[in-house]
Amino acid sequence: MSKPIGVGGKAVLTIGHMAGMIDMVALPLWIGGLMQHYQFSPQDAGITVTLFLLGMVIASAVIAPLFNRIPRRPIVVGGFALAAACFLFMVRLPIDRASFDLLVPLHALAGLGAGCGLSLVHGSIGRTDNPHRLFGMVNLAVAVLGIAVFAAVPGLVARYGASVLFLVFAVAMGVAAVVSLVGFPDMGDEAPRPAEGARTGGASRLIWMPIGVVICLTLNQSMVFAFVERIGAARGFGAGDVQAVLVTLGFVNLLPGPLAAWMQHRVSPLAVGLAGPVGQAVLALTLSSSLVFAPYALTVVLYVSMVIFTHTFLFGLLSRLDPSGRATSGTPAMMMMGSCLGPAVGGFIVSAFGYQGLGWAACAVALVAVVLMLRLRAQLRGHEDASLRAFA
């Protein structure tokens, strides 16, 4: 059952979303820092970050079905606090290849903690009176965070080493834990009302298709975006130019969340779900193959926005297909399932086929997403619920 919450509750959910989604904005710096400063190979850097994201997948997959039956506030606080403690421990490790054996389990444990917190944050957003709009606005906050990260962190990393990035992660997770302790909103534990329950039962088999599309989007996003900084370096673009592109990307990312919220009733989520993967594939192919700075810069700037805009519509669609909050509570699992595979898969592709191979792999994944959306549209057109048929 949807529930209106005040500004304070929305602010807490926004901060929790920013902390849990920090990997979405910091991924190039994360991978690049492990490769450049810790001297990890592309595979080892990808696997290390993948284990953090895999921890989030496991935590969210366990938490989501229990969303309406567990004490949410203490789990959110404990999860973010655990992640903060793990990242603080990483700060104290030597900045060299010898830290690999400790960084790997610490990343996995931090992912488990962050995944618990983010899953319950997303489930709570899905129970609000307008999940689509709120999800668009919390993504605006992540874009603001991205501007700050790309403006400040690369210089600090160059001066003090990649452990600075772990300190930033620790602070973000710690702040999320504190504000959640103080004011995490109570969304209630009621079962869905009969009408909603009936709709959920009829539509439960449909949620797996938009979930699959989200996995494809985030797989492509992390697989390609994780190597944006390295692609720029390999093409001979200056480090200052690449950093400027990443800062610009942060400003551009201010737009898709509010734009998606404004267009909620103007564009079909199915149309967005079809166009998003296609646009993402075109951008990925251009980004990975361009030897000229201008096309590279333009596609980098637009790449994350494509995912934010498309995912906002899919989040709103999932909240309609399952009003209980359980499907949206699984958002970290579906996002991070793609994200956790991306760096590792991308690392192997780069090692075997070079950076251009990333673009062709993204095209193949996008094709799967399009097929899923076409099947969902066909299923909705024949659905007994008129409100769901309207989406088709």
The Cα 181–Cα 178 span in angstroms is 5
Which residue would you say has higher pLDDT here, 340 or 238?
238
pLDDT (0 to 100) of residue 188: 66
pLDDT (0 to 100) of residue 116: 94
The Cα 295–Cα 299 span in angstroms is 6
pLDDT (0 to 100) of residue 190: 45
Reported as a pLDDT band with limits 50, 70 and 90, residue 340 is: confident
> What average pLDDT score do residues 343-356 get?
85
Which residue would you say has higher pLDDT here, 52 or 387?
52
Per the CB < 8 A criterion, the answer to whether 272 and 310 are in contact is yes
Phi, psi of 128 (to 5 degrees): -75, 175
Residue positions counted in the chain:
392
Tokens 């909050």 belong to which residue?
A: 325
Residue (of 76, 87, 77) closest to 109 by Cα position: 87
2 contacts: CB under 8 Å, gap ≥ 6: 127, 128, 129, 130, 131, 323
Q: Does the pLDDT value for residue 383 go beyond 70?
A: no
Least confident stretch, 196-200, 207-211, 301-305:
196-200
Q: Does the pLDDT value for residue 156 go beyond 60?
A: yes
Report the DSSP beta bridge partners of residue 128: 3
pLDDT (0 to 100) of residue 186: 79
Q: Does the pLDDT value for residue 3 go beyond 70?
A: no
Counting Cα atoms < 13 Å in the Cβ hemisphere of 199 gives 18
pLDDT (0 to 100) of residue 354: 86
pLDDT (0 to 100) of residue 309: 92
pLDDT (0 to 100) of residue 189: 58
pLDDT (0 to 100) of residue 114: 95
Residue (of 25, 22, 13, 23) closest to 251 by Cα position: 25
Reported as a pLDDT band with limits 50, 70 and 90, residue 197 is: very low
pLDDT (0 to 100) of residue 243: 80
> What average pLDDT score do residues 177-199 get?
67
Reported as a pLDDT band with limits 50, 70 and 90, residue 388 is: low
Least confident stretch, 177-186, 193-202, 279-288:
193-202
> What average pLDDT score do residues 293-298 get?
92
pLDDT (0 to 100) of residue 201: 47
Reported as a pLDDT band with limits 50, 70 and 90, residue 384 is: low
pLDDT (0 to 100) of residue 2: 54
The Cα 256–Cα 327 span in angstroms is 23
> What average pLDDT score do residues 177-182 get?
95
pLDDT (0 to 100) of residue 192: 46
The Cα 334–Cα 350 span in angstroms is 24
Looking at the domain covering 7-389, what would its CATH class be?
A: mainly alpha
Which residue would you say has higher pLDDT here, 16 or 378?
16
Report the DSSP beta bridge partners of residue 3: 128
> What average pLDDT score do residues 209-223 get?
90
Q: Which residues of 45-55 are buried (b: 16+ CB within 10 A; e: fewer)?
A: bbbbbbbbbbb
Q: Does the pLDDT value for residue 363 go beyond 90?
A: yes
Q: Does the pLDDT value for residue 11 go beyond 90?
A: yes
